Amino acid sequence: MNALIGLIQGVIIALFITLDDNDSVDKVLLITATMSLWGALLFMQLSPNLMKISDQSKKAAWMMLIGYFTIFGFFGFCFLDDIKSSYQGTWGVVFVVVAYLILPFVQLASQGHSTYQAWVSDSYQSLFSHAWCNAIIVVFGWLTALAVWLVLALWWELFQVIGIDFFEELFTNKWFAWPVLGCVFGIGIHAAHSHFNIIDNLKRLLLSMCGLLLPLVTLLTLSFVTSVAFTGLNNVWGTGVATPLILVLVFTNILLINGASLPQKSTLRLSLPSNKVWRTLIYINIVALTVLMLIAAYSSYLRIAQYGWTVPRVYLALIVVVMAFYTVPYLGLLRERARNFVWLKCTNVIATGCVIGLLVMSHNPWLNPVSITIKSQLSRLNNQQVSIDNFAYELLYFDLGQRGKDALTDYVKSGKHPQHIELAEYYQALSSATDKYKWWALKKRLTAKPLQYSWVGALIWSDEKLTKVLEDSDLNQNTCREKMCYFISFNVDYDDDLEILLHEDGTDDLLVFNNHDGKWLRSGRIRIGYDEDKAIGIVDMFKQQLITVKPTRYKALEIEGELFEVREQITPLSRKPSTLMEKPNGSAINVEETESD
């Protein structure tokens, strides 16, 4: 039966790949339907008792299975519509996590244990065992499929050596490969169930590893919390990864505490290390976990209060709440240590139920990460917590699909914002961009300060041409916007054309622009030095014609008897200027060339 179910799973994947290339198919419906159907079939593989449909005791298990995949699949269809692909991937991760959490309860329900009292009593050991063994069995199924695929790859490669391509074409065809691999995956699941004692021994091995790692992670946690007490939280607030790292540490502690402390069925006390010092440190560590959760929660709050909700911040907040569901009740383990295993069982079952409910309901069509983000960002804009110049238009317009675009459009048209005219101008420019990267480039031009410049000598460029040359060069985008610039038309190479020298107030060099096939390129730099008086007076010297071009043998400009060489050359990607600073009679200004990639 597992092999047949696996075959069906493979056909589903092949069908998904085929339909995914069809533009007329609703991609969101395809994704959610495929994941729900595939996941339901996997539940049936991992819960053999479910196949006894005639047994009335399986009714609760089937209701849990069908209810989860139907409800969350529908919520996913409403949530995923037309949003950023990375957010769709995040939903997929949540889908798998919730399925993993609910699966042991479905398995117990298929065995006739479908009540809370059964889950927190003697059946908790089975619940715990299922949670670990399910992961091992699925990994074994994947490894079995991978091994078969490697054999098939060897098969077609060997026949390719003798000029037969038939097997490669056959084995790589999706209608052959995926059904076969699905069937093999099912066989691997069946083999794991047939040798469950080996799977159980692997689980015990992993639990032993948890016992070895728990003291080490306890020392890590306590040393970190102690260090934070002395160094302060400023460093924690200043990084963008502190909260995720803290959550990883908390999750590791939860995993190891549960894995290392599981006692025998007849025992009411957790199986912690017999050494009193280690046992005390673990109890202190449990208290430290609550401290870490407070730090993580406050860190998340600061980010949200400062920048508002975004989809990643909603998920970060969800993870904080999920971790808090487990860590805060763990403080009860310190109260009645003689019966703390009873408390742990109740805490884990209730916390897992709350997590499942939270993650499912946080993706409903009316309240989900996308709707929360839209409401938060528009509220910040309306309350002028963020200026219209700094508002993340691309988040709503490009990342949050049609819902975000419609919400932004409606707000702009409502005219509620005090600067609604300027906001409408931004929106009009936003509408002309095809993606957020082009919008960022367009926004830079819209928010840039006006150019400040003056010409010395003949005016070579129009205002439009000057702006384009600066945009096309590799100069800082604020060049000639923060400080005054002087464009000096000067013949530095004795040819018939003028070059352009650019000098910005406060700098100590002249940038050389030369005309190559009708395109003005930055081609050199003349370093004047750090003499402030000379840097300030260089423009006046050009105006008074106190600067001359020296012949080739000097390879420099002479300014008040001092020579300044052209130190470097910036060459375009397509070609290197061959006539830069050259004249027919051989006079030139020296240029030290640099290769471009």
Where do we find the tokens 């917590």? 385
| Beta bridge pairs of residue 456 | 488
Q: Which of 11, 20, 66, 22 is nearest to 43 (CA)?
A: 66
Q: How much is the pTM? A: 0.77
Q: How far is CA 429 from CA 127, 425, 467, in A?
A: 57, 6, 19
- For residue 68, give both structure tokens: 């989860």
| Beta bridge pairs of residue 68 | none
What's the first-to-final CA gap in the chain, in angstroms? 59
For 39, the enclosing helix (H) or strand (E) is helix 27-46
**Contacts with 219 (C-beta within 8 Å, 6 or more apart), sequence order:** 281
**Contacts with 450 (C-beta within 8 Å, 6 or more apart), sequence order:** 481
Where do we find the tokens 């946080």? 362
* Cα 34 to Cα 31: distance, rounded to the nearest angstrom: 5
* Cα 369 to Cα 275: distance, rounded to the nearest angstrom: 46
- For residue 166, give both structure tokens: 């038939």
* Cα 31 to Cα 16: distance, rounded to the nearest angstrom: 8
**Burial classification of residue 220, based on how many CB atoms lie within 10 Å of its CB (0-12 exposed, 13-18 middle, 19 or more buried):** middle
* Cα 48 to Cα 94: distance, rounded to the nearest angstrom: 25
* Cα 72 to Cα 78: distance, rounded to the nearest angstrom: 10
- For residue 190, give both structure tokens: 């069946």
Question: HEC states along 289-358?
Answer: HHHHHHHHHHHHHHHHHHHCCCHHHHHHHHHHHHHHHHHCHHHHHHCCHHHHHHHHHHHHHHHHHHHHHH
| Beta bridge pairs of residue 504 | 485
- List the Cα angle 551/553/557 in 5-degree steps: 50
* Cα 511 to Cα 28: distance, rounded to the nearest angstrom: 54
- For residue 168, give both structure tokens: 């490669």
Q: Which of 420, 309, 408, 406 is nearest to 367 (CA)?
A: 309
Q: DSSP states of 363-400 as a string?
A: TSSSSSHHHHHHHHHHHHHHTTSS-TTT--HHIIIIIS
**Contacts with 360 (C-beta within 8 Å, 6 or more apart), sequence order:** 68, 71, 72, 75, 98
Other CB atoms within a 10 A radius of the CB of residue 24 amount to 5
**Contacts with 151 (C-beta within 8 Å, 6 or more apart), sequence order:** none
How do the pLDDT tens digits run along the chain, 597 residues long? Answer: 889 999 999 999 999 999 988 888 888 888 999 999 999 999 999 988 887 766 666 788 889 999 999 999 999 888 887 777 778 888 889 999 999 999 999 999 888 888 888 888 888 888 999 999 999 999 999 999 999 999 999 999 999 999 898 999 999 999 999 999 999 999 999 999 999 999 999 999 999 999 899 999 999 999 999 998 888 888 777 777 888 999 999 999 999 999 888 877 667 778 777 788 888 899 999 999 999 999 999 989 988 998 999 999 999 999 999 999 999 999 988 887 778 888 888 999 999 999 999 999 999 988 999 999 999 999 999 999 998 888 888 889 888 888 889 999 999 999 888 888 888 888 888 888 888 888 887 777 777 777 888 888 888 888 888 888 887 777 777 788 778 888 888 877 767 778 888 888 877 788 888 888 778 888 888 877 645 555 457 777 777 777 777 655 545 677 766 767 665 554 444 433 433 333 333 333 333 333 333
